[in-house]
Amino acid sequence: MEQILAACRAELERGGAVVALTGAGVSAESGIPTFRGKEGYWTIGSREYHPQELATFEAFERMPWSVWAWYLYRRGVCLRAEPNAAHHALARLDAALSGRFSLVTQNVDGLHRRAGSPDARTYPIHGDITQMRCAADCTVERWPIPEEVGDVPRGEDVPEAWQKLLVCPRCGGMARPHILWFDESYDEPRFHFDSVLRLARRAALLLIIGTSASTNLPWHVVRLADGVGATLVDINIEDNPFGDIASRTGGVVRQPAAEAVPALVEHFVEYLGHRVG
């Protein structure tokens, strides 16, 4: 651990940009099931679906209200969850680094925002579960899902009265959850693709927290940051491909995010305080 801290301190000292890349593992201790964990399954009719099967435009086209039901259930889980110590620590790190810090998150749960990470420096690359947009893409604009639309309990359908509210305010067509699905592509207007690549190219220290390295843009981020010589630290309870890369630079911390991130941030804040003072 001391070696990891020393590598991080060296980057803080040099004054470069610090980026955190978070995945579902950062919210696990807030009670939100991870994607590839065991708890995420969903039953439609007599069939069990894995989230990855439902998180596609193809599934939405085939059974839109079943997909909406799953997202409205999951939105309820996210809204009832509370940010944990890792989310709070990352908001604290943002405040301590005054503009040198950016947060790239795959999570759609909004917990980073609720912990105080500012929208101006937070890049949600997979969408936001509390928002909807036009299913026909008549615009890239998105809107909050209307307040009248509540939770759908497991196994239940979206009530017809709510279905009438889940429409695009611009063209009146069907709305969809503002989520990047597996059969879709990243872009800048909706998913900050170019901005995030720019951040990665300028990163001096990249903290990779609670992600299984299963999606495309995070891979670009890690490869680009590694390519420009950034120090990479992987925080995860399990080994994963990003850990293999990080182990060659900063190192790996095999602890739950809610333990490891606050400890790391505490150390950084103390160090920065001494340096300034």
The nearest distance, CB 181 to ligand OAD, in angstroms, is: 6
Identify which range of 18-26, 146-154, 195-203, 264-272 contacts ligand OAD by CB under 6 A: 18-26
Return the residue of 214, 220, 267, 269 that touches ligand OAD, per CB under 6 A: 214
The nearest distance, CB 87 to ligand OAD, in angstroms, is: 12
Return left, alpha or beta for 118; rule: phi > 0 is left, psi -120 to 50 is alpha, else beta. beta
Instruction: Output the six-digit token pair for 57.
Output: 């435009």
The nearest distance, CB 133 to ligand OAD, in angstroms, is: 14
Q: Which is nearer to ligand OAD, 88 or 126 (CB)?
A: 126
Q: Is the dihedral of CA 116, 119, 123, 126 positive or negative?
A: positive
User: Helix H segments across the chain?
Assistant: 2-14, 25-28, 51-54, 57-62, 64-80, 85-97, 111-115, 160-163, 188-191, 193-202, 216-227, 241-246, 257-276
Q: Which is nearer to ligand OAD, 115 or 272 (CB)?
A: 115
> Three-class SS string for 84-115?
CHHHHHHHHHHHHHCCCEEEEECCCCCHHHHH
Identify which range of 9-17, 23-31, 133-141, 223-231 contacts ligand OAD by CB under 6 A: 23-31
Catalytic residue among 87, 88, 112, 126: 126
Q: Which residues bind ligand OAD (CB under 6 A)?
A: 23-25, 28-29, 34-37, 52, 55, 106, 126, 179-180, 210-212, 214-215, 236-238, 240, 256-257
Catalytic residues: 126
